[in-house]
Amino acid sequence: VLALPATWLTLRTSGADRAQTFVLRDGTRKTSKAWFHSWFSSDPSGDEIFRHYLKVSGWQDHAATVTSYVANGRFQIKNENGESMVRIPGDPYRRVIHLHWGSDDGEVELKGQGPDRLLISQNYDQGRVWQRATNGTTGWWRKGSPDRDSQAGTNFRLVDTLAGDLYGDKLADFKRGADFVNYLQLQTKYSGLYLYAKAMVGDRVCYELHSKSVSSLAEIMYFDVETGLLLKLEPFRHDTPYVPSLDGYVVSYTDPSYPTETFLDRYREVNGVKIPFLIRQHVQEFWITTTITEFKTNMAIESSEFEKPLP
């Protein structure tokens, strides 16, 4: 039996500065530095990729110490074509018109509390408000115009209100972060992740991981081969964004049962955990760009904020 020095066996695992050539899903080749090197395998397994992500992102060592968060920032919703195909309610001929609109912008606040409580409040510059939340078991949504004479806080009164419950697929989507991002869920591993291919996300080479889901369509995640960070998610989203510019019109959407592209960028370290401060989502024909300007962890949040407000 040939005994090799231990340094020989670890050489390939510690050479993160060496470049590798990757064959992408489309057959093209790209070169990048890589965190994984091994004598025994050309690629890491899905479990190895996810474990490395937890390590480099800080979730491995700090998951138990991050119990809640409050994030604030700005968002912008644009149609990639600059227009939407809509109908005017009550038109007997059901004619479709081209409605041109620029963007809907505003401020967003995200509140999360472990393990799966989440509240997203969007305050549009046009004066409208859209809220969605879950207490971990049930979910709700409402939109309207804020009553300026009502009390401040999450449970402020809305006028001209539409409201309802989140349930089924929409509630499951919301809890795992298909709407914007649920930061506390970024450490959650989908069942049966396996390496499907290598692909590009922007100018970065990524490991493309799929989940082995029996009951639903596969979730897809993209991890940078050099840094190990999560750069893209493709969660399924069964809801469409609220666009005040389209109020008063009937919009014919296609079936939203296909993946939403969620890009994560501008990572910063907050209390030991790397957090993406720029989130870009491609939902049907919409692009939603969210820039987080403030992120605080372990904030005191009343559990009542996640409960459905009284009418």
Tell me the residue type at 35: W
Residue 69, token pair as written in the block: 């968060």
The three-point CA angle 77-80-83 to 5° equals: 90
> What CA–CA distances, in Å, run from 10 to 7, 13, 16, 34, 215?
5, 5, 12, 15, 40
3-state helix, strand, coil in the chain (%, to 5): 15, 45, 40
Confidence of residue 192 (pLDDT cuts 50, 70, 90): confident
Average pLDDT of span 203-223 = 83
pTM of the full structure = 0.88
Average pLDDT of span 220-239 = 91
Return d(Cα 79, Cα 77) in angstroms, integer. 7
Close Cβ partners of 119 (under 8 Å, ≥ 6 residues apart): 109, 110, 111, 112, 131, 132, 133, 154, 305, 306
Nearest CA among 308, 252, 275 for reference residue 138 = 308
Average pLDDT of span 35-61 = 91
Nearest CA among 57, 64, 67 for reference residue 297 = 67
Q: Are 209 and 49 in contact (CB under 8 A)?
A: yes
Q: Which residue has the higher pLDDT, 239 or 226?
A: 226
Structure confidence by residue, pLDDT tens digits, 108-142: 999 999 888 999 999 999 999 999 999 999 999 99
Return d(Cα 161, Cα 147) in angstroms, integer. 11
Average pLDDT of span 164-191 = 84
**Domains with residue ranges and CATH for the chain:** 59-306 (2.50.20.10)
| Cis peptide bond prior to 276, omega within 30° of 0 | no
Structure confidence by residue, pLDDT tens digits, 238-295: 778 899 999 888 886 655 556 789 999 999 999 999 999 999 999 888 999 999 999 9
The pLDDT score that the predictor gives to residue 94 is: 85
Return d(Cα 247, Cα 245) in angstroms, integer. 6
| Helix (H), strand (E) at residue 56 | helix 46-57
Return d(Cα 180, Cα 173) in angstroms, integer. 11
